[in-house]
Structure formats: structure tokens, C-alpha cells
Amino acid sequence: MEFDALLRQRRMTRRFDPAPLPAELLERVLDQARRVPSAGFSQGVDLLVATGAPARRRLWGAIAGEGWLASPGAAALLAAPVLVLPVADPGAYVRRYGEPDKAGSGLANVPAAAWPTPYWLVDAAFSVFALLLAAEDAGVGALFFRLHRSEQESLAALGIPEERRLLGAVALGRRAGDDVPGMSARRPRRDLADVVHREHW
């Protein structure tokens, strides 16, 4: 698909067909999600992927409370056959920027909490967006959504080291026949002239 068309037609999916995705297609989409810019080529983003029903239930339980899981809007999302949790590792960036070739970066030996921009979250966001685009290009629906439990609760429930960071999660699957754009997608897009500030603010 042409890149311009890909950007224009990509949207979040709210209702999923529960049919499994072909393994080869899923592997291709996941591989594309890791081929994104990475500060210092630190590569500090992992993807926790759940496809089997027990693994999906466990992941859902870790990132969403019982109240949300029982809510009316959750049922269509719970049908998604794949869940992906991007997991960022601040320590990978601190270690990378402690290496000799990064000594002049201004971030050498700076603890993660003091970084002015958390590159691990930037890179995780890049990975998520690449995943959304790769899914669209493969004819697969995708939805990025926030955690419905605290980050620390989710990490603990999944056995992920507590120093890691979570952005949210991505559901993947074919769009259900009754999936329609959400209300947010109906809002008008800002004009280019309102967004781009040329030469000065």
C-alpha cells in the first residue's frame, strides 16, 4: 500500500473478529514493529505477545481490573485474538549512554529519573506506531489503549521487572463486520496551515 494511503486510512479498531491471525502474518507485523529508530540503538523495547486464550486472559487480568472487564464496551475488545504489551527498559538506555562513544551526549552516567526526555518511552511509542501501521498494511485492525490498572500492579502481575515501563497495550485482529469508527475519528482534522509554523511561531 502507498504510504500516503496507509496513513490516511489507518484508524483504531473497536470491534474484533475472534479468528486467529495467521502466524506468518503476525510474525511479519511484530518484526516490523522492532525496526524503528532507537536512541543510541539501545533497542530497549520488548514486546510481550499473547495469542492463546489462557495467555490473553492472564494479560487482560494484569492490565485491567474486574470492573472494566465486565463493562459493556469491553466485550468487543476482549475478542481480539492478539494482545501486545510494549515494555520499555530505562536501564538499557542508561547503560548504552554510559558507553565511551556516548560520553559527550550529556546523558552519560545520568540516572533514568533525571533524563529530560525518557528515550525509552519515545522508542516504545515509535514501536507502537510502527505496529499500528504494519497491521493496517497487512489488513489487520489494531487498537492502542491505556492500562486499566496501575503500571506497578500490571508489572507485578506479569512477572516483569519493576524497573520496566509500560505505555499501554495493543489489540490486534481482523475487524469485525460491525466495527465503525469511534466518535473521536469523526472530529475534523486541523488544517496544515494551523499545524505548521513556518520560520517563527
Query: What is the tens place of the pLDDT at every residue in 3-32?
Result: 888 888 888 898 899 999 999 999 999 999
Main-chain dihedrals φ then ψ at residue 104, nearest 5 degrees: -90, 10
Q: Is the pLDDT of residue 99 over 90?
A: yes
Query: What amino acid occupies position 185?
Result: A
The C-alpha atoms of residue 128 and residue 143 are separated, in whole angstroms, by 10
Which residue in this structure is represented by grid cell 469511534?
A: 182
- Residues forming beta bridges with residue 47, ordered by sequence position: 86
Look over the chain and give the mean of its residue pLDDT values, rounded to a whole number. Answer: 93
Q: Give the single-character DSSP code of 97.
A: T
Average pLDDT for 112-127: 97
Q: What domains, with CATH codes, occur in the chain?
A: 15-176 (3.40.109.10)
The C-alpha atoms of residue 133 and residue 174 are separated, in whole angstroms, by 14
The C-alpha atoms of residue 140 and residue 133 are separated, in whole angstroms, by 10
State if pTM tops 0.75: yes
pLDDT at 69: 87
The C-alpha atoms of residue 99 and residue 89 are separated, in whole angstroms, by 17
Lookup: cell for 130? 510502527
Neighbours of 159 (CB within 10 A): 7
CB burial string 88-98: b at 16+ within 10 A, e below:
bbbebbbebbe
pLDDT at 96: 97
Query: Using an 8 Å Cβ cutoff, are 52 and 83 in contact?
Result: no
Which residue in this structure is represented by grid cell 509554523?
A: 197
Query: Using an 8 Å Cβ cutoff, are 72 and 63 in contact?
Result: no
- Give, for 145, the enclosing helix (H) or strand (E): strand 141-145
